[in-house]
Amino acid sequence: MSSEEQLLASFNSSIQKIVSVLYARLRNRTVKVRAPPTTAKPFYEPCYSTVLFEILDFLHVYYIPFIVVVGICFNALNVYVFLKTHLKHRSSSYYLAALAVSDSGFLVSLGMIWFGDSIGVQTFNRSGWCQLVIYLSSTSSFLSVWLTVGFTIERFIAVQYPLKRPHVCTVARAKIVVLGLAILSLALNSYVLVIAGVVENEHGADTCDMRAEYGELLSKITLADSLITLAIPSVLLVFMNVLITRKLIGFNHRFHVDNQHDPSTGNAVSSDNLRRHLSSQHSLHSAKTISSRLTSNTNRSTGSTEASQTSRELRFVSQNVATTGTHCQRSITKMLLVISSTFLLLNMPSYVFRLYTIVQSLWGQPAPPPMWCLQQFCMLLYYTNFGINFILYSLCGSTFRRCVLQIVRRKICLLSKCFSK
């Protein structure tokens, strides 16, 4: 065998070992599935196909660092847009900014594990760093789930009870909810600091894993964690998204019917002008102010035509106050609906495999090898969820796009001025 062939064989062997360790650690930390046996079997045996394994190998080696780097950059931009532009006056912006921070925390922990296994800097397998990385991963994933539930609940209230939205969906309340969820996440996942540590694996090497003496406790914690971060949030998100979608469809239908049959369209103060004015105010107070202004105009008017026109305007306002909040928040609701729905689509496959694994473990049966391979593909979708929100905001949120373009233009102008000097 030539020196080039020996070097290539050594490189392939190193890559296989790196991916093997990465698979085992990510699997043990997320869904608690034991690695399929590899002794006396080909390395790709769990996938029953060298092609599938090569695809999986490629994605783990190249896609994970890509989603980590790009996702962290996108999330940093999300935080800047939501907190440094006029979007900071919206309560939903604080949920989305906090979501970007928690997603970045998970990506940092994922990147540290990948970096250590690929480059050889074994920071993850050192006492202290081991507990910190797992704690960061667990806390961030928990917080991301419940922040998604949090802004979905806010949108549900805004759509189902538009008159309560100005009093319930406030910036101050959003800050309190975000802070409460962060504290709750830090507290509930603190057990990781105790049960995780550096242990000796079957090959005699030190590795970061859960301590064997806490095995029985860990099984109970895994079941409770599955309920808190899997079952309950999924049911809530599906239930609320269905109702929000139904309400939006009904609102769009009523909106088009009102435009076609509204007798006051040709008046001096048309229904479209009133709707645009109410939408710009974002509160029920604006509706009351317009109503009182029209009432005073009615009292001052002496002509029957002017009084009749003002009466129609008052009737239009009173009939549309209940749906004005939904209309002015419709674009925000659609964007957040897409975010929560995408969250479900990307997380549901890994959730299904996790539930399957739990059921199998309760029956005392190990997961079959093909499930291991499918699970790795599902975990890649799960990781994608932590770095894709910027793209969804840009596609679904026109206001978000405008803010990003304004930021880009300002930065280009500053750079052009610096170079011109």
- Of residues 165, 395, 392, the one with CA closest to residue 279: 165
Lowest pLDDT segment from 122-136, 183-197, 266-280, 321-335 = 266-280
Mapping DSSP onto H, E and C, the string for the chain reads CCHHHHHHHHHHHHHHHHHHHHHHHHHHHHCCCCCCCCCCCCCCHHHCCHHHHHHHHHHHHHHHHHHHHHHHHHHHHHHHHHHHCHHHHCHHHHHHHHHHHHHHHHHHHHHHHHHHHHHCCCCCCCCCHHHHHHHHHHHHHHHHHHHHHHHHHHHHHHHHCCCCHHHHCCHHHHHHHHHHHHHHHHHHCCCHHHHEEEEECCCCCEEEEECHHHHHHHHHHHHHHHHHHHHHHHHHHHHHHHHHHHHHHHHHHHHHHHHHHCCCCCCCCCHHHHHHHHHHHCCHHHHHHHHHHHHHHHHHCCCHHHHHHHHHHHHHHHHHHHHHHHHHCHHHHHHHHHHHHHHHHHHHHHHHHHHHHHHHHHCCCCCCHHHHHHHHHHHHHHHHCCCCHHHHHHHHCHHHHHHHHHHHHHHHHHHHHHHHC
In this predicted structure, what is the pLDDT of residue 120? 65
Q: Using CA atoms, how far apart are residues 29 and 125, in angstroms rounded to an integer?
A: 14
Q: Where are the domains of the chain?
A: 3-37+48-250+328-414
Mean pLDDT of the chain: 75
Q: Using CA atoms, how far apart are residues 187 and 376, in angstroms rounded to an integer?
A: 29
- Residue type (1 letter), 224: A
Q: Average the pLDDT over 242-253 and give the result.
A: 83
pLDDT at 286 over 70: no
Q: Average the pLDDT over 49-65 and give the result.
A: 84
Q: How far are the Cα atoms of 49, 200, 306 from residue 37, in angstroms, in the given order?
A: 16, 18, 85
Q: What is the pTM of this model?
A: 0.74
- Of residues 318, 337, 327, 317, the one with CA closest to residue 243: 337
Which is more confident, 3 or 216?
Answer: 216
In this predicted structure, what is the pLDDT of residue 43? 43
Q: How confident is the model at residue 392 (pLDDT cuts 50, 70, 90)?
A: very high
The segment with the largest mean pLDDT, out of 43-52, 182-191, 270-279, is: 182-191
Q: Using CA atoms, how far apart are residues 199 and 192, in angstroms rounded to an integer?
A: 14
Which is more confident, 291 or 35?
Answer: 291
pLDDT above 70: percentage of residues in the chain = 67
pLDDT tens-digit series, residues 301-343: 444 555 555 555 545 444 554 444 445 467 788 888 899 999 9
pLDDT at 211 over 90: no
In this predicted structure, what is the pLDDT of residue 377? 87
Lowest pLDDT segment from 39-48, 65-74, 243-252, 277-286 = 277-286
Domain 3-37+48-250+328-414 falls in which CATH fold? Rhopdopsin 7-helix transmembrane proteins (1.20.1070)
pLDDT above 90: percentage of residues in the chain = 33
Q: How far are the Cα atoms of 48, 214, 361, 371 from residue 367, in angstroms, in the given order?
A: 15, 22, 8, 7
- For the chain, the farthest-separated pair of C-alpha atoms sits apart, in whole angstroms, at 106
With tokens 């990506």, the residue in question is: 107
pLDDT at 368 over 80: no
Strand partners, 82: none
pLDDT at 31 over 50: no
With tokens 């550096």, the residue in question is: 198
